[in-house]
Amino acid sequence: MTNTQNKLQAVLFDVDGTLADTEQDGHRLAFNAAFKQFNLDWNWDIDLYGELLQVTGGKERIRYYIERYAPAELNKSDLPDWIVSLHKTKTNYFESLMEAGSIPLRPGVARLIHELRQEKIKLAIATTTTMENVTALLKSTLGEESIGWFDVIGAGDIVPMKKPAPDIYLWVLDQLKLTPQQCIAIEDSENGLKSALAANLPTLITVSGYTHSQDFNGAVAVLSDLGEPSQPFTQIRSITIVDKDWVDYRLLNNLINH
């Protein structure tokens, strides 16, 4: 493959845990608020939610919880619709948290996105979270116009199989009309890494609170976060020389050409 083909053309971002640490103090609180509104005595504490995060997708997570912890609810005749309604209520609570500015972007995210735009690198999102959640996060952290910065946004139920299946990444690559070798994925979880690797994407991991002890074998590098010039990342593992303290276009380009 020639260097021209091999040069970085696009960066594909996961959302939850990658752009922002949304899980513990965002989605978890929104789920609990929705349960209260539905008069359920469920409470997803920090440890339980860490277990539930092994299941990808909010509706899928609710169903898993019911099967494991509240099996009496399985007798509902309209269970699938009820789960959709509960999840929609949760999404509304999550959007309210976003609009209140309660959930900031992780270190380096805004800087890197602005730099990639200057370098004319395509930006994409590949996530199992809903489009409403993506929109709420981007608007509250980067401004109303930021939705338009992304060439492709793959979110929610746009593909049938969620991560760790590669479907969402394959869909985004198809929309971008690029090969995996021209791109890099940025993820925070083992399921996300498996999804990206199954789509043959070089993948950078920035660990989050719930994922730091997961298995990231196959990632091009594992870092604490994207870093800032004034707030260097911690390098956990890398298969190439990382000679900077923050992730920028040049470093990402080196990672796909290692």
Is residue 3 over pLDDT 60? no
pLDDT tens for each residue of 179-199:
999 999 999 999 999 999 999
pLDDT > 70? residue 5: no
Exactly one of 16, 21, 167, 225 is catalytic; which is it?
Answer: 16
Provide mean pLDDT across the span 18-32: 94
Predicted pLDDT of residue 245: 92
pLDDT score recorded for residue 6: 60
Residues 161-181: tens digit of each pLDDT? 999 999 999 999 999 999 999
pLDDT at 1: 37
Q: Are 70 and 79 in contact (CB under 8 A)?
A: no
Residue of 36 and 25 predicted with greater confidence: 36
Whole-angstrom distance, CA of residue 85 vs CA of residue 79: 10
Helix 109-118 to helix 131-142 angle (10° resolution) is 90
Could you tell me what percent of the chain has a pLDDT over 70? Answer: 97
Q: Is the pLDDT of residue 2 over 80?
A: no
Instruction: Indicate whether 4 pLDDT > 60.
Output: no
Rounded to two decimals, what is the model's pTM? Answer: 0.90
Residue pair 195/164 in contact by the 8 Å Cβ criterion: yes
Q: Which residues pair with 126 in a beta bridge?
A: 154
Compute how many other C-beta atoms are within 10 angstroms of the C-beta atom of residue 171: 16
Q: Are 256 and 220 within 8 A, CB to CB?
A: yes
Distance separating the N- and C-terminal Cα atoms of the chain: 13
**Total Cβ atoms within 10 A of residue 138:** 25
Q: Tell me the mean pLDDT in the region 17-41.
A: 95
What is the mean pLDDT of the segment spanning 21-36? 95
Reading the block at residue 10, the tokens are 């696009």
pLDDT at residue 117 is higher than 50: yes
Residue 128 has pLDDT above 80, yes or no: yes
Catalytic site residue 14?
yes
Marked catalytic residue, from 14, 167, 188, 225: 14
DSSP class per residue in 196-253 = HHHTT--EEEE--TTTTTS--TT-SEEESS--BTTBPPPEEEESS----SS--HHHHH
pLDDT for residue 83 is more than 50: yes
**Two structure tokens written together for 32:** 């609990």
